[in-house]
Amino acid sequence: MSRGPRVAVVVFPGTWSERDFVDAAPAVGWEARLVWHTSAELGAVDAVVLPGGFAHGDHLRTGAIARFSPVMRAVEDFAAAGGPVLGSCNGFQILCEAGLLPGVLLRNDHLQFRCDWQALRVERTAGPWLDADELTAGDVISLPISHGEGRYHADPDVLDALDAGGQVVLRYADPDGRVVPDANPNGSARGIAGVLNPAGNVLGLMPHPERAADDEVGGTDGLRILRSLGRWLSAQPAVAERGL
Amino acid sequence: MRWLADVHVRLRPGIADPEGQTIAGGLKALGFATVNEVRAGKLLRIAFDAADRDEAEAGVAEMCRRLLANPVMETADWELRVEADQVAGEVAR
């Protein structure tokens, strides 16, 4: 495609990572645009990002109020039509509350807010956010985490279905790629750090790819996820022409 | 009529509750050696209007279903009563 992906970055009251996505946009060729949560429309975009933060103060439950913001109906329609949606951190929590992804994010098992670089094992490359030209299954990447409520939970049968369906795409790992309890920063079930919806177009992950976009601040592995979008869109001309 | 609902939102049984565990540890540290377990939750007191008890019950149930509890991790139960000021006022009349 000649132009870069047009990406709507949704901002709720309390979102804090939208500027990091906008700052990373030039490095991956995105035309990023901020969309306030009261907007009922996303406009002409190729993808939607729900950034991290504390939408509506995380009151009641993380994402519980945000999921009823007017913009979320547009996000749900966009996702249902196959449009690429990325939810990072609080965005992941919102996607779970909205039912676009299974499970829920609970308080970290040690009750601490955890802000650190975290090794992650790539379980599978699939869809618009994990392109095989950027990542390979088994890769160990390093991304920042920054959350107090990142303990992924779902019923055992749901976890089994996620595993069987290849929907678990990122797990917390040690630097050698081993998914072991000591490498799990929050007590997440089966070390789950990122999941896809069954169709593969919606990715939720607790880490922050947008904060690993510059060598000067620690690494650029996040760019591999953000850059995947353009590669995927280029290979999907039909989707691009539908203006999703 | 004005109603008050005390809605208790609880983590589902079996879900680890680190907040409750920490509180239990605090109680034990204070010498409450008999404490076996603490489960933390939320109490939401909701004041609202409904024509009668059936409508009030249905209203609270719907609030819980739509927003107040996430069934993946929580259960909700409630106690419902007519708001006390209103009862006092009706008796006075």
Residue window 48-77, chain B: list those with CB within 8 Å of chain A. 67-68, 70, 72-73
Residue A107 belongs to some domain of the structure:
yes
- Measured CA to CA, the distance from residue A56 to residue A88 in angstroms comes to 16
Hey, are the CB atoms on A104 and B16 less than 8 Å from each other? no
How many Cβ atoms from other residues are within 10 Å of residue B57's Cβ?
Answer: 15
Confidence label for B87 from pLDDT (cuts 50, 70 and 90): low
Confidence label for B82 from pLDDT (cuts 50, 70 and 90): very high
Confidence label for B91 from pLDDT (cuts 50, 70 and 90): low
Cα distance from B75 to chain A (closest Cα, Å)? 13
Cα distance from B6 to chain A (closest Cα, Å)? 15
- Measured CA to CA, the distance from residue A107 to residue A1 in angstroms comes to 42
- Closest residue, chain B, to A109 (C-alpha): B18
- Measured CA to CA, the distance from residue A242 to residue A127 in angstroms comes to 17
Chain B residues with beta carbon closer than 8 angstroms to that of A155: 72
Helices then strands, each counted (H, E), chain A: 6, 11
Which pLDDT score, from 0 to 100, does residue B54 have?
A: 98
Residue A1 belongs to some domain of the structure:
no
Closest CB from A97, A103, A107 relative to B18: A107
Average pLDDT, consecutive stretches of 10 residues, N- to C-terminus, chain A (244 residues): 87 97 97 98 97 96 96 98 98 98 97 97 97 97 98 98 98 98 98 98 98 96 98 78 52
- Measured CA to CA, the distance from residue A50 to residue A21 in angstroms comes to 10
Hey, are the CB atoms on A61 and B70 less than 8 Å from each other? yes
Query: What pLDDT, in 10s, does the model give residues B24-50?
Result: 999 999 999 999 999 999 999 999 999
Closest CB from B22, B42, B73 relative to A106: B73
Write the burial class of residue A209 (CB in 10 Å: 0-12 exposed, 13-18 middle, 19+ buried): buried
Supply the ipTM of this predicted assembly.
0.84
Sheet with B41-49, edge to edge strand ranges? B41-49, B2-11, B74-82
The count of CB pairs under 8 A between chains A and B is 32
Confidence label for B93 from pLDDT (cuts 50, 70 and 90): very low
Chain B touched by A161 (CB under 8 Å): no
Confidence label for B84 from pLDDT (cuts 50, 70 and 90): confident
- Topology of the domain covering B2-92: Mth169; Chain: A , (3.30.1280)
Which pLDDT score, from 0 to 100, does residue A131 have?
A: 97
- Measured CA to CA, the distance from residue A70 to residue A10 in angstroms comes to 11
Residue A166 belongs to some domain of the structure:
yes
Chain B touched by A149 (CB under 8 Å): no
Chain B residues with beta carbon closer than 8 angstroms to that of A153: 15, 72-73
Residue A213 belongs to some domain of the structure:
yes
- Mind telling me the catalytic residues of A? 89, 208, 210
Domain of A28 in residue numbering reads as 6-241
List the single best residue of B7, B21, B67, B72 to mutate versus A (max A Cβ within 10 A): B72
- Measured CA to CA, the distance from residue A84 to residue B71 in angstroms comes to 27
The mean pLDDT value of chain B amounts to: 93
Chain B touched by A103 (CB under 8 Å): yes
Give the CATH number of the domain where residue A79 resides: 3.40.50.880
Residue A208 belongs to some domain of the structure:
yes
Hey, are the CB atoms on B70 and A110 less than 8 Å from each other? no
Closest CB from B16, B19, B72 relative to A104: B72
Chain A residues with beta carbon closer than 8 angstroms to that of B42: 60
Hey, are the CB atoms on A68 and B19 less than 8 Å from each other? no
Which pLDDT score, from 0 to 100, does residue B57 have?
A: 98
% of chain B surpassing 90 pLDDT:
89
Which pLDDT score, from 0 to 100, does residue A3 have?
A: 82
- Measured CA to CA, the distance from residue B36 to residue B40 in angstroms comes to 14
Domain borders along chain B are: 2-92
Which pLDDT score, from 0 to 100, does residue B36 have?
A: 97
Task: Determine if the pTM surpasses 0.90.
Answer: yes
Hey, are the CB atoms on A61 and B72 less than 8 Å from each other? no
- A46 backbone φψ class: left, alpha, beta (φ>0; ψ -120 to 50): alpha
Contact A85, A79 (CB under 8 A): yes
Chain A residues with beta carbon closer than 8 angstroms to that of B15: 106, 153
Chain B residues with beta carbon closer than 8 angstroms to that of A59: none
Which pLDDT score, from 0 to 100, does residue A118 have?
A: 98
Q: What is the separation, in whole angstroms, between the first and last Cα of chain B? A: 15
- Measured CA to CA, the distance from residue A164 to residue A5 in angstroms comes to 31
